[in-house]
Amino acid sequence: MEKQEFIEKIQKVADILGYEMTVPEESFTNQAELKKDNIWIHIRNGGYQNQNKITISGSYPHDCHNQYNAYGLKNPTISCSETKTPEQVAKDIQRRFLPGYMEDLQKTEEQNKITQGKADRRYQTIKIIADSLGIVPKKEHNDEYNSLPIWNVLPGLGSLKVSYDGTTIDLKLELTLDQTLQVLAILK
C-alpha cells in the first residue's frame, strides 16, 4: 500500500474510533500512531515479515524511573489484511486488540503506582536525613534517586553517601585513616 493511501485509511480508522492520529516523520515502513488519554496504539503496514498486512500493537507508560516495564505482560499484537476497509480495521481494533491491551494497560498502570509509591517512600526517608543535615536532596528518577551524596557537610569528615533501599539505610563514609580512627573511637 502506498504511504498516502495508508495515511488516509488510518486517519479514517482514527476518526471512527475517536483517536488522534500522528505519523512519525521518518520510518522504513508505513507507520501511524493513534492516541487517546493514556492509550497509545502503533499501526504499521508492510515491513520485512508483514507484507500486505496491517500490524497493530500498543505501548505502555514508563514508570517513575522512566523505565519501560511490561511486568511480564506480553504486548498484544494483531494483524489484518491491508485490503480491509477502515471500518473493518476499526472493528478489529475494538474487538481483537483493545480488550487484551486495556487489561494489560490497567495492570501496568497499577504496578507503576506501586513503584511510584515505593520510590516516594524511599525519597521521604532520604529527605528526613537531608533535613537533619540542613541540605536539600535532589528528587530525580534515576539511579541516584535513593541516595544522598554529601560533601563537606560534617566538619572534618570526607564525603558521605546515604542510600535507602526501602528496608535499610546504608551510610558510606570516605575518610582518611586519622578520621576513621576518630570515628571508631566515638563508636566504641
- pLDDT for 152-166, tens place per residue? 555 666 667 777 777
- Whether residues 145 and 183 share a domain: the answer is yes
Q: Name residues of the chain where pLDDT drops below 70.
A: 27-28, 47-49, 65-66, 68-70, 72, 138-159
Out of 92, 114, 136, a domain closes at: 114
Which residues are CB-contacts of 75 (< 8 A; sequence separation ≥ 6)? 57, 58, 60, 104
29 shares its domain with 97 = yes
Exposure string of 134-146, with b = 16+ CB inside 10 Å and e = fewer, is: eeebeeebeeebb
The total of structural domains in the chain comes to: 2
Say if residue 131 is in the same domain as residue 166.
yes
Model pLDDT, residue 150: 61
- For residue 33, give the H/E element and its range: strand 30-36
Whole domain around residue 49: which residue ranges? 3-114
Both 88 and 177 in a single domain?
no
Q: Which of 46, 67, 58 is nearest to 105 (CA)?
A: 58
User: In this predicted structure, what is the pLDDT of residue 72?
Assistant: 67
Q: Are residues 109 and 130 in the same domain?
A: no
Q: End of a domain among 70, 87, 114?
A: 114
Confidence (pLDDT) at 70: 64
Last residue of a domain, one of 69, 87, 114: 114
Residues 21 and 106 both lie in one domain: yes
Same domain for 90 and 36? Answer: yes
Q: Do 86 and 150 sit in the same domain of this protein?
A: no
pLDDT at position 88 is 98
Same domain, 166 and 144: yes
Q: What are residue 156's phi and psi, to 5 degrees?
A: 80, -5
Domain check: are 95 and 129 in the same one? no
- Which residues does residue 124 pair with via DSSP β-bridges, in sequence order? none
